[in-house]
Homo-oligomer: A and B are copies of this chain.
Protein backbone atom coordinates (compact mmCIF):
# COMPACT_ATOMS: atom_id res chain seq x y z
CA UNK A 1 0.00 0.00 0.00
CA UNK A 2 2.91 2.31 0.66
CA UNK A 3 3.89 2.06 -2.98
CA UNK A 4 4.62 5.48 -4.41
CA UNK A 5 3.23 6.10 -7.86
CA UNK A 6 4.60 8.48 -10.45
CA UNK A 7 2.52 11.63 -10.94
CA UNK A 8 1.57 13.15 -14.30
CA UNK A 9 3.77 16.12 -13.46
CA UNK A 10 6.80 13.96 -12.78
CA UNK A 11 6.61 11.74 -15.83
CA UNK A 12 3.43 11.56 -17.85
CA UNK A 13 4.43 8.52 -19.82
CA UNK A 14 5.48 6.57 -16.75
CA UNK A 15 2.29 7.67 -14.97
CA UNK A 16 0.28 6.18 -17.85
CA UNK A 17 2.07 2.85 -17.84
CA UNK A 18 1.82 2.51 -14.08
CA UNK A 19 -1.86 3.39 -14.17
CA UNK A 20 -2.69 0.67 -16.69
CA UNK A 21 -1.16 -1.88 -14.32
CA UNK A 22 -2.49 -0.29 -11.14
CA UNK A 23 -6.07 -0.25 -12.42
CA UNK A 24 -5.57 -3.83 -13.64
CA UNK A 25 -6.51 -2.98 -17.22
CA UNK A 26 -3.80 -4.72 -19.22
CA UNK A 27 -0.24 -5.97 -19.13
CA UNK A 28 2.58 -6.76 -21.51
CA UNK A 29 2.77 -10.35 -22.66
CA UNK A 30 5.95 -12.25 -23.41
CA UNK A 31 5.13 -11.87 -27.09
CA UNK A 32 6.82 -8.74 -28.35
CA UNK A 33 4.38 -5.83 -28.56
CA UNK A 34 1.32 -7.90 -27.73
CA UNK A 35 -0.72 -7.16 -24.62
CA UNK A 36 -2.99 -9.16 -22.36
CA UNK A 37 -6.23 -7.28 -21.76
CA UNK A 38 -7.23 -8.16 -18.21
CA UNK A 39 -10.85 -8.66 -17.12
CA UNK A 40 -11.38 -5.15 -15.78
CA UNK A 41 -9.90 -3.54 -18.89
CA UNK A 42 -11.81 -5.90 -21.12
CA UNK A 43 -15.07 -5.09 -19.33
CA UNK A 44 -14.63 -1.43 -20.30
CA UNK A 45 -13.84 -2.41 -23.89
CA UNK A 46 -16.95 -4.62 -23.92
CA UNK A 47 -19.08 -1.65 -22.87
CA UNK A 48 -17.55 0.43 -25.67
CA UNK A 49 -18.23 -2.38 -28.13
CA UNK A 50 -21.81 -2.75 -27.03
CA UNK A 51 -22.62 0.93 -27.48
CA UNK A 52 -20.84 1.18 -30.83
CA UNK A 53 -22.33 -2.06 -32.13
CA UNK A 54 -25.81 -0.79 -31.36
CA UNK A 55 -25.09 2.47 -33.17
CA UNK A 56 -23.76 0.60 -36.21
CA UNK A 57 -26.88 -1.53 -36.35
CA UNK A 58 -29.16 1.47 -35.89
CA UNK A 59 -27.48 3.03 -38.92
CA UNK A 60 -28.21 -0.06 -41.02
CA UNK A 61 -24.99 -2.07 -40.72
CA UNK A 62 -24.62 -5.82 -40.16
CA UNK A 63 -21.68 -7.70 -38.73
CA UNK A 64 -19.84 -10.37 -40.68
CA UNK A 65 -16.48 -12.12 -40.47
CA UNK A 66 -13.66 -12.39 -43.00
CA UNK A 67 -10.45 -14.47 -42.82
CA UNK A 68 -7.55 -13.52 -40.57
CA UNK A 69 -5.06 -14.53 -43.23
CA UNK A 70 -4.57 -12.64 -46.49
CA UNK A 71 -2.63 -13.95 -49.49
CA UNK A 72 0.46 -11.82 -49.97
CA UNK A 73 -0.45 -11.00 -53.55
CA UNK A 74 -3.72 -9.30 -52.51
CA UNK A 75 -1.78 -6.61 -50.70
CA UNK A 76 -0.01 -5.53 -53.88
CA UNK A 77 -3.22 -5.06 -55.83
CA UNK A 78 -3.94 -1.55 -54.57
CA UNK A 79 -0.66 0.24 -55.13
CA UNK A 80 -0.81 2.95 -52.47
CA UNK A 81 -2.30 0.51 -49.95
CA UNK A 82 0.75 -1.73 -49.97
CA UNK A 83 3.04 1.27 -49.67
CA UNK A 84 1.30 2.49 -46.54
CA UNK A 85 0.45 -0.75 -44.85
CA UNK A 86 1.66 -4.09 -45.74
CA UNK A 87 5.33 -3.79 -45.02
CA UNK A 88 5.44 -4.28 -41.28
CA UNK A 89 3.31 -7.33 -40.83
CA UNK A 90 3.35 -10.89 -39.58
CA UNK A 91 4.08 -13.35 -42.36
CA UNK A 92 2.96 -16.98 -42.21
CA UNK A 93 5.30 -19.12 -44.28
CA UNK A 94 4.73 -22.66 -42.95
CA UNK A 95 1.81 -24.74 -41.74
CA UNK A 96 3.39 -27.48 -39.69
CA UNK A 97 5.82 -28.14 -36.87
CA UNK A 98 7.63 -31.39 -36.20
CA UNK A 99 9.66 -32.90 -33.41
CA UNK A 100 13.32 -31.95 -33.52
CA UNK A 101 15.40 -35.04 -34.22
CA UNK A 102 17.63 -34.30 -31.23
CA UNK A 103 14.58 -34.29 -28.93
CA UNK A 104 15.06 -30.64 -28.03
CA UNK A 105 11.47 -29.61 -28.78
CA UNK A 106 9.64 -28.71 -31.98
CA UNK A 107 10.95 -27.13 -35.14
CA UNK A 108 9.28 -25.80 -38.25
CA UNK A 109 8.76 -28.57 -40.77
CA UNK A 110 10.63 -27.38 -43.87
CA UNK A 111 8.47 -29.57 -46.11
CA UNK A 112 5.37 -27.67 -45.01
CA UNK A 113 6.17 -24.42 -46.76
CA UNK A 114 3.26 -22.46 -48.23
CA UNK A 115 3.35 -21.80 -51.95
CA UNK A 116 2.22 -18.25 -51.33
CA UNK A 117 2.89 -16.64 -47.98
CA UNK A 118 -0.08 -15.46 -45.95
CA UNK A 119 -0.18 -12.17 -44.08
CA UNK A 120 -2.04 -11.70 -40.81
CA UNK A 121 -4.48 -8.92 -41.66
CA UNK A 122 -3.22 -5.45 -40.79
CA UNK A 123 -6.64 -4.25 -42.08
CA UNK A 124 -9.12 -6.08 -44.29
CA UNK A 125 -9.87 -3.96 -47.35
CA UNK A 126 -8.17 -6.38 -49.70
CA UNK A 127 -9.70 -9.64 -48.52
CA UNK A 128 -13.12 -8.03 -48.21
CA UNK A 129 -13.12 -6.41 -51.63
CA UNK A 130 -11.98 -9.69 -53.08
CA UNK A 131 -15.22 -11.17 -51.65
CA UNK A 132 -17.39 -8.23 -52.68
CA UNK A 133 -16.48 -8.94 -56.30
CA UNK A 134 -18.68 -12.03 -56.13
CA UNK A 135 -21.42 -10.38 -54.11
CA UNK A 136 -22.08 -7.44 -56.36
CA UNK A 137 -23.50 -7.59 -59.86
CA UNK A 138 -26.31 -5.09 -59.92
CA UNK A 139 -27.43 -1.89 -58.21
CA UNK A 140 -29.89 -4.17 -56.38
CA UNK A 141 -26.94 -5.65 -54.45
CA UNK A 142 -25.98 -2.21 -53.16
CA UNK A 143 -25.35 -0.73 -50.71
CA UNK A 144 -23.42 -3.32 -48.74
CA UNK A 145 -23.09 -2.09 -45.17
CA UNK A 146 -20.86 -4.44 -43.23
CA UNK A 147 -18.85 -4.19 -40.05
CA UNK A 148 -16.39 -6.64 -38.59
CA UNK A 149 -15.09 -6.92 -34.99
CA UNK A 150 -11.66 -8.43 -35.26
CA UNK A 151 -8.04 -8.59 -34.21
CA UNK A 152 -5.37 -7.19 -36.50
CA UNK A 153 -1.58 -7.28 -36.43
CA UNK A 154 0.81 -4.51 -37.43
CA UNK A 155 4.43 -5.10 -36.58
CA UNK A 156 5.12 -1.98 -34.54
CA UNK A 157 8.65 -1.24 -33.41
CA UNK A 158 7.77 0.91 -30.40
CA UNK A 159 4.68 -0.22 -28.58
CA UNK A 160 2.64 1.11 -25.64
CA UNK A 161 -0.24 -0.60 -23.90
CA UNK A 162 -3.51 0.16 -25.74
CA UNK A 163 -2.00 3.08 -27.68
CA UNK A 164 0.17 1.11 -30.05
CA UNK A 165 0.40 -2.65 -29.88
CA UNK A 166 1.39 -5.25 -32.43
CA UNK A 167 -1.94 -7.01 -32.11
CA UNK A 168 -4.98 -4.94 -31.31
CA UNK A 169 -8.73 -5.35 -31.32
CA UNK A 170 -10.92 -3.13 -33.45
CA UNK A 171 -13.95 -2.86 -35.65
CA UNK A 172 -13.63 -2.14 -39.32
CA UNK A 173 -16.61 -1.09 -41.40
CA UNK A 174 -16.44 -1.76 -45.14
CA UNK A 175 -19.24 -0.42 -47.28
CA UNK A 176 -19.96 -0.50 -50.99
CA UNK A 177 -22.14 2.03 -52.80
CA UNK A 178 -23.59 2.79 -56.20
CA UNK A 179 -22.68 6.48 -56.16
CA UNK A 180 -19.82 8.65 -55.08
CA UNK A 181 -22.10 10.92 -53.09
CA UNK A 182 -23.62 8.03 -51.18
CA UNK A 183 -20.16 6.78 -50.18
CA UNK A 184 -19.09 10.25 -49.07
CA UNK A 185 -22.27 10.57 -46.97
CA UNK A 186 -21.57 7.20 -45.40
CA UNK A 187 -18.03 8.21 -44.43
CA UNK A 188 -19.43 11.41 -42.88
CA UNK A 189 -22.21 9.56 -41.09
CA UNK A 190 -19.78 7.17 -39.44
CA UNK A 191 -17.54 10.03 -38.39
CA UNK A 192 -20.57 11.52 -36.65
CA UNK A 193 -21.28 8.18 -34.98
CA UNK A 194 -17.72 8.12 -33.64
CA UNK A 195 -17.82 11.74 -32.49
CA UNK A 196 -21.14 11.23 -30.76
CA UNK A 197 -19.79 8.13 -29.01
CA UNK A 198 -16.58 9.89 -27.94
CA UNK A 199 -18.39 12.88 -26.50
CA UNK A 200 -21.51 11.32 -24.98
CA UNK A 201 -20.05 8.08 -23.66
CA UNK A 202 -16.31 8.63 -23.27
CA UNK A 203 -16.96 12.26 -22.17
CA UNK A 204 -14.08 13.11 -24.48
CA UNK A 205 -14.42 16.22 -26.65
CA UNK A 206 -13.22 15.69 -30.21
CA UNK A 207 -12.47 17.81 -33.23
CA UNK A 208 -13.97 16.40 -36.40
CA UNK A 209 -11.74 17.03 -39.34
CA UNK A 210 -10.12 15.92 -42.52
CA UNK A 211 -6.56 14.67 -42.85
CA UNK A 212 -4.10 16.37 -45.18
CA UNK A 213 -3.21 14.32 -48.25
CA UNK A 214 -0.01 13.01 -46.75
CA UNK A 215 -1.74 11.81 -43.58
CA UNK A 216 -4.48 9.94 -45.43
CA UNK A 217 -5.10 6.22 -45.04
CA UNK A 218 -3.18 4.27 -47.67
CA UNK A 219 -5.66 3.78 -50.48
CA UNK A 220 -8.15 6.48 -49.45
CA UNK A 221 -9.21 9.55 -51.40
CA UNK A 222 -10.28 11.30 -48.23
CA UNK A 223 -9.69 10.48 -44.57
CA UNK A 224 -11.96 11.98 -41.93
CA UNK A 225 -10.93 11.74 -38.30
CA UNK A 226 -11.74 12.67 -34.75
CA UNK A 227 -8.86 14.16 -32.80
CA UNK A 228 -8.82 14.53 -29.04
CA UNK A 229 -6.44 16.24 -26.62
CA UNK A 230 -4.75 14.27 -23.89
CA UNK A 231 -3.79 15.80 -20.55
CA UNK A 232 -0.19 16.30 -21.65
CA UNK A 233 -1.46 18.44 -24.51
CA UNK A 234 -0.70 15.84 -27.15
CA UNK A 235 -3.26 14.87 -29.76
CA UNK A 236 -4.68 11.40 -30.14
CA UNK A 237 -6.45 10.26 -33.29
CA UNK A 238 -9.40 8.38 -31.87
CA UNK A 239 -11.14 7.18 -35.01
CA UNK A 240 -11.01 7.46 -38.78
CA UNK A 241 -13.55 7.18 -41.57
CA UNK A 242 -12.28 6.89 -45.12
CA UNK A 243 -13.85 7.65 -48.47
CA UNK A 244 -12.00 5.16 -50.67
CA UNK A 245 -13.34 6.31 -54.02
CA UNK A 246 -13.21 3.47 -56.55
CA UNK A 247 -9.66 2.48 -55.67
CA UNK A 248 -10.39 -0.92 -54.16
CA UNK A 249 -13.19 -1.64 -56.62
CA UNK A 250 -10.72 -1.08 -59.43
CA UNK A 251 -7.97 -3.08 -57.78
CA UNK A 252 -10.34 -6.03 -57.23
CA UNK A 253 -12.50 -5.50 -60.29
CA UNK A 254 -15.79 -4.93 -58.50
CA UNK A 255 -18.41 -3.54 -60.89
CA UNK A 256 -22.16 -3.23 -60.90
CA UNK A 257 -24.84 -2.61 -63.51
CA UNK A 258 -26.99 0.41 -62.73
CA UNK A 259 -30.72 0.68 -63.50
CA UNK A 260 -29.96 1.50 -67.11
CA UNK A 261 -27.59 -1.42 -67.46
CA UNK A 262 -24.48 0.76 -67.46
CA UNK A 263 -21.59 -1.01 -65.77
CA UNK A 264 -19.47 1.00 -63.35
CA UNK A 265 -16.99 0.44 -60.53
CA UNK A 266 -18.38 0.47 -57.00
CA UNK A 267 -17.68 3.27 -54.49
CA UNK A 268 -16.31 2.41 -51.08
CA UNK A 269 -15.75 3.53 -47.51
CA UNK A 270 -13.99 2.00 -44.54
CA UNK A 271 -13.96 3.20 -40.94
CA UNK A 272 -12.57 1.97 -37.67
CA UNK A 273 -11.90 2.47 -34.00
CA UNK A 274 -9.75 0.23 -31.86
CA UNK A 275 -8.61 -0.64 -28.34
CA UNK A 276 -6.60 2.58 -28.71
CA UNK A 277 -9.80 4.22 -27.44
CA UNK A 278 -8.92 2.69 -24.07
CA UNK A 279 -5.73 4.74 -24.06
CA UNK A 280 -7.67 7.86 -25.00
CA UNK A 281 -10.21 7.26 -22.25
CA UNK A 282 -7.48 6.79 -19.66
CA UNK A 283 -5.49 9.84 -20.67
CA UNK A 284 -8.46 12.18 -20.96
CA UNK A 285 -9.75 11.87 -17.41
CA UNK A 286 -7.44 10.04 -15.05
CA UNK A 287 -5.43 11.64 -12.25
CA UNK A 288 -2.52 10.84 -9.96
CA UNK A 289 -4.66 8.53 -7.85
CA UNK A 290 -5.54 6.35 -10.81
CA UNK A 291 -8.19 5.81 -13.42
CA UNK A 292 -11.22 8.10 -13.66
CA UNK A 293 -14.10 6.61 -15.62
CA UNK A 294 -17.16 8.32 -17.05
CA UNK A 295 -20.22 6.55 -15.58
CA UNK A 296 -21.45 5.57 -19.06
CA UNK A 297 -18.43 3.28 -19.49
CA UNK A 298 -17.82 2.17 -15.90
CA UNK A 299 -18.21 -1.59 -15.30
CA UNK A 300 -18.91 -0.72 -11.66
CA UNK A 301 -20.69 2.62 -11.28
CA UNK A 302 -21.13 2.53 -7.53
CA UNK A 303 -19.11 0.68 -4.95
CA UNK A 304 -20.02 0.41 -1.28
CA UNK A 305 -17.68 -0.39 1.58
CA UNK A 306 -18.78 -1.23 5.14
CA UNK A 307 -16.88 0.28 8.06
CA UNK A 308 -17.53 -1.75 11.14
CA UNK A 309 -16.02 -3.13 14.30
CA UNK A 310 -18.48 -5.84 15.32
CA UNK A 311 -20.22 -8.62 13.45
CA UNK A 312 -23.57 -7.14 14.44
CA UNK A 313 -22.66 -3.88 12.79
CA UNK A 314 -21.55 -5.67 9.65
CA UNK A 315 -24.76 -7.66 9.59
CA UNK A 316 -26.84 -4.46 9.82
CA UNK A 317 -24.80 -2.78 7.08
CA UNK A 318 -25.04 -5.88 4.87
CA UNK A 319 -28.79 -5.66 5.13
CA UNK A 320 -28.90 -1.99 4.18
CA UNK A 321 -26.60 -2.61 1.24
CA UNK A 322 -28.69 -5.50 -0.03
CA UNK A 323 -31.62 -3.07 -0.04
CA UNK A 324 -29.59 -0.49 -1.89
CA UNK A 325 -28.40 -3.06 -4.41
CA UNK A 326 -31.97 -3.85 -5.36
CA UNK A 327 -32.92 -0.21 -5.69
CA UNK A 328 -29.93 0.55 -7.91
CA UNK A 329 -30.51 -2.54 -10.00
CA UNK A 330 -34.03 -1.35 -10.66
CA UNK A 331 -32.55 1.85 -12.04
CA UNK A 332 -30.03 -0.03 -14.19
CA UNK A 333 -27.09 1.19 -12.13
CA UNK A 334 -24.23 -1.27 -11.64
CA UNK A 335 -23.30 -1.72 -8.01
CA UNK A 336 -20.70 -3.65 -6.11
CA UNK A 337 -20.79 -4.18 -2.38
CA UNK A 338 -17.38 -5.15 -1.11
CA UNK A 339 -17.56 -6.65 2.36
CA UNK A 340 -14.52 -8.86 1.92
CA UNK A 341 -13.17 -9.35 5.44
CA UNK A 342 -9.62 -9.89 4.20
CA UNK A 343 -9.16 -6.23 3.25
CA UNK A 344 -9.31 -3.06 5.31
CA UNK A 345 -11.57 -0.15 4.24
CA UNK A 346 -8.52 2.04 3.50
CA UNK A 347 -7.16 -0.56 1.10
CA UNK A 348 -10.53 -0.78 -0.63
CA UNK A 349 -10.85 2.99 -0.93
CA UNK A 350 -7.48 3.19 -2.69
CA UNK A 351 -8.30 0.20 -4.87
CA UNK A 352 -11.61 1.54 -6.19
CA UNK A 353 -10.09 4.97 -6.60
CA UNK A 354 -7.33 3.43 -8.74
CA UNK A 355 -9.99 1.61 -10.76
CA UNK A 356 -11.95 4.79 -11.39
CA UNK A 357 -15.28 3.74 -9.90
CA UNK A 358 -17.36 6.96 -10.21
CA UNK A 359 -19.14 6.81 -6.84
CA UNK A 360 -18.04 5.26 -3.57
CA UNK A 361 -20.33 4.81 -0.60
CA UNK A 362 -19.07 4.18 2.90
CA UNK A 363 -21.41 3.13 5.71
CA UNK A 364 -20.51 2.77 9.36
CA UNK A 365 -22.39 2.32 12.65
CA UNK A 366 -22.96 6.05 13.05
CA UNK A 367 -24.51 6.21 9.60
CA UNK A 368 -26.83 3.38 10.55
CA UNK A 369 -28.00 5.43 13.52
CA UNK A 370 -28.36 8.70 11.71
CA UNK A 371 -29.91 7.19 8.58
CA UNK A 372 -27.23 8.81 6.47
CA UNK A 373 -24.37 7.59 4.38
CA UNK A 374 -21.14 9.03 3.02
CA UNK A 375 -20.96 9.44 -0.73
CA UNK A 376 -17.63 10.17 -2.43
CA UNK A 377 -17.22 11.32 -6.02
CA UNK A 378 -14.21 10.00 -7.93
CA UNK A 379 -14.03 12.93 -10.35
CA UNK A 380 -13.82 15.78 -7.82
CA UNK A 381 -12.75 13.71 -4.83
CA UNK A 382 -15.39 15.45 -2.72
CA UNK A 383 -17.62 13.76 -0.19
CA UNK A 384 -21.13 14.43 1.00
CA UNK A 385 -23.37 13.00 3.68
CA UNK A 386 -26.66 11.94 2.14
CA UNK A 387 -29.92 10.57 3.52
CA UNK A 388 -30.00 6.82 2.93
CA UNK A 389 -33.74 6.50 2.44
CA UNK A 390 -33.77 8.12 -0.99
CA UNK A 391 -30.15 7.72 -1.92
CA UNK A 392 -30.89 5.92 -5.19
CA UNK A 393 -32.30 9.14 -6.63
CA UNK A 394 -29.31 11.10 -5.44
CA UNK A 395 -26.97 8.56 -7.04
CA UNK A 396 -28.82 8.59 -10.33
CA UNK A 397 -28.49 12.37 -10.56
CA UNK A 398 -24.90 12.30 -9.39
CA UNK A 399 -23.88 9.82 -12.09
CA UNK A 400 -25.33 12.13 -14.73
CA UNK A 401 -23.55 15.06 -13.14
CA UNK A 402 -20.21 13.24 -13.09
CA UNK A 403 -20.61 12.28 -16.74
CA UNK A 404 -21.31 15.94 -17.58
CA UNK A 405 -18.56 17.28 -15.37
CA UNK A 406 -15.91 15.07 -16.94
CA UNK A 407 -16.89 16.23 -20.38
CA UNK A 408 -16.96 19.90 -19.38
CA UNK A 409 -13.64 19.60 -17.58
CA UNK A 410 -12.00 18.01 -20.61
CA UNK A 411 -13.52 20.67 -22.85
CA UNK A 412 -12.24 23.44 -20.60
CA UNK A 413 -8.79 21.85 -20.57
CA UNK A 414 -8.77 21.71 -24.34
CA UNK A 415 -9.90 25.32 -24.58
CA UNK A 416 -7.10 26.41 -22.25
CA UNK A 417 -4.57 24.57 -24.37
CA UNK A 418 -5.67 25.57 -27.83
CA UNK A 419 -4.55 28.81 -29.41
CA UNK A 420 -4.14 30.62 -32.68
CA UNK A 421 -0.58 31.11 -33.79
CA UNK A 422 0.54 33.25 -36.72
CA UNK A 423 4.32 33.14 -36.65
CA UNK A 424 6.39 30.03 -37.15
CA UNK A 425 8.88 31.28 -34.54
CA UNK A 426 6.09 31.57 -31.99
CA UNK A 427 4.94 28.10 -32.94
CA UNK A 428 8.40 26.61 -32.56
CA UNK A 429 8.86 28.37 -29.23
CA UNK A 430 5.61 26.99 -27.85
CA UNK A 431 5.07 23.59 -29.42
CA UNK A 432 7.09 21.71 -26.81
CA UNK A 433 4.77 22.72 -23.99
CA UNK A 434 1.97 20.81 -25.78
CA UNK A 435 -1.50 21.83 -26.83
CA UNK A 436 -3.27 22.43 -30.13
CA UNK A 437 -2.23 25.27 -32.42
CA UNK A 438 -4.48 26.75 -35.05
CA UNK A 439 -2.33 28.10 -37.84
CA UNK A 440 -2.48 29.00 -41.48
CA UNK A 441 -0.83 26.58 -43.83
CA UNK A 442 -0.19 26.93 -47.53
CA UNK A 443 -1.60 23.50 -48.31
CA UNK A 444 1.62 22.00 -49.66
CA UNK A 445 3.16 18.70 -48.62
CA UNK A 446 6.58 20.38 -48.54
CA UNK A 447 5.59 22.85 -45.83
CA UNK A 448 3.88 20.07 -43.91
CA UNK A 449 7.02 17.94 -44.06
CA UNK A 450 9.19 20.87 -42.98
CA UNK A 451 7.02 21.51 -39.91
CA UNK A 452 7.10 17.85 -38.99
CA UNK A 453 10.84 17.59 -39.40
CA UNK A 454 11.63 20.75 -37.48
CA UNK A 455 9.11 20.42 -34.65
CA UNK A 456 7.82 16.80 -34.62
CA UNK A 457 4.35 18.32 -34.77
CA UNK A 458 1.90 17.30 -37.46
CA UNK A 459 -1.21 18.70 -39.05
CA UNK A 460 -3.76 16.75 -37.06
CA UNK A 461 -6.64 17.78 -39.29
CA UNK A 462 -8.43 20.50 -41.10
CA UNK A 463 -11.34 20.92 -38.73
CA UNK A 464 -14.72 20.65 -40.39
CA UNK A 465 -16.27 23.48 -38.40
CA UNK A 466 -13.25 25.77 -38.62
CA UNK A 467 -14.51 28.99 -40.26
CA UNK A 468 -12.91 30.29 -43.43
CA UNK A 469 -10.49 33.08 -42.71
CA UNK A 470 -8.03 34.75 -45.05
CA UNK A 471 -4.45 34.56 -43.81
CA UNK A 472 -0.89 33.65 -44.64
CA UNK A 473 0.95 30.40 -44.08
CA UNK A 474 2.99 30.74 -40.90
CA UNK A 475 5.96 29.07 -42.58
CA UNK A 476 6.02 30.33 -46.18
CA UNK A 477 3.78 33.41 -46.01
CA UNK A 478 1.73 32.10 -48.91
CA UNK A 479 -2.03 32.74 -48.78
CA UNK A 480 -4.35 30.37 -46.89
CA UNK A 481 -8.10 30.50 -46.36
CA UNK A 482 -8.46 28.37 -43.25
CA UNK A 483 -6.48 27.55 -40.14
CA UNK A 484 -5.52 23.91 -39.54
CA UNK A 485 -4.94 22.08 -36.25
CA UNK A 486 -1.31 21.33 -35.40
CA UNK A 487 -0.01 19.33 -32.47
CA UNK A 488 2.36 16.66 -31.39
CA UNK A 489 0.53 13.41 -31.39
CA UNK A 490 0.41 9.86 -30.06
Contacts and interface: CB of A to CB of B under 8 A. Distances in A.
A386 interface: no
A97 B87 contact: yes
Nearest to A63: B42
Interface stretch (A114-122, A180-188, A426-434, A470-478): A114-122
Contacts of A72: 97, 105-106, 108
Nearest to A147: B39
Contacts of A76: 105-106
Contacts of A75: 97, 106
Contacts of A117: 108
* Interface class of chain A by DSSP: mixed
Interface stretch (A29-37, A313-321, A404-412, A451-459): A29-37
Interface string A161-196: 000000101000000000000000000000000000
A465 B185 CA distance: 60
B67 A342 contact: no
B63 A36 contact: no
A130 to B, nearest CB: 6
Residue among A69, A105, A342 facing the most chain B CB atoms (10 A cut-off): A69
A167 B35 contact: no
A6 interface: no
A98 to B, nearest CB: 7
Interface string A64-90: 111111111101100000100011111
Given A36-B131, A93-B91, A42 B71 contact: no
A92 interface: yes
A87 B91 contact: no
A127 interface: yes
Nearest to A86: B97
Interface residues of A, number: 61
Contacts of A96: 87-89, 91, 155
A330 to B, nearest CB: 19
Given A42-B64, A87-B98, 5 more contacts: A35-B67, A43-B62, A75-B106, A76-B105, A151-B151
Interface of A: 27, 29-31, 34-39, 42-43, 46, 62-73, 75-76, 82, 86-98, 105-106, 108, 117-120, 127, 130-131, 134, 140, 146, 150-151, 153, 155, 167, 169, 342
29 contacts: A29-B67, A31-B67, A31-B69, A31-B71, A31-B127, A34-B69, A35-B67, A36-B131, A38-B64, A42-B63, A67-B167, A68-B151, A69-B153, A69-B167, A75-B106, A76-B105, A87-B98, A89-B97, A90-B92, A90-B95, A91-B94, A91-B95, A91-B97, A92-B93, A93-B94, A97-B119, A108-B117, A140-B342, A151-B151
